[in-house]
Amino acid sequence: MSLSAFTLVAAAAEHGEPALSPYAVGGVTLAILLALLLALLAFGGGREHS
């Protein structure tokens, strides 16, 4: 089997539903970024600016 035939077979096999929902990936990413933002605000909340 040539490389181009193998590529066509592999591409045909991958067609379908994604393994993870894009909304789940976006939600987890948003949660991580919000947690980092809250940690940043908590860390520097009571400090004076120099």
Q: Which whole number is the average pLDDT over 3-28?
A: 78
User: What does the alpha-carbon distance between residue 6 and residue 12 come to, in Å, rounded to a whole number?
Assistant: 10
Residues 6+ apart with CB under 8 A from 9: 1
Confidence of residue 36 (pLDDT cuts 50, 70, 90): very high
Confidence of residue 12 (pLDDT cuts 50, 70, 90): low
Q: Which pLDDT does position 47 carry in this prediction?
A: 67
Mind listing the pLDDT tens digit for each residue in 25-35?
Answer: 999 999 999 99
Better pLDDT: 24 or 14? 24
Residue with tokens 């948003």, as numbered in its chain: 30
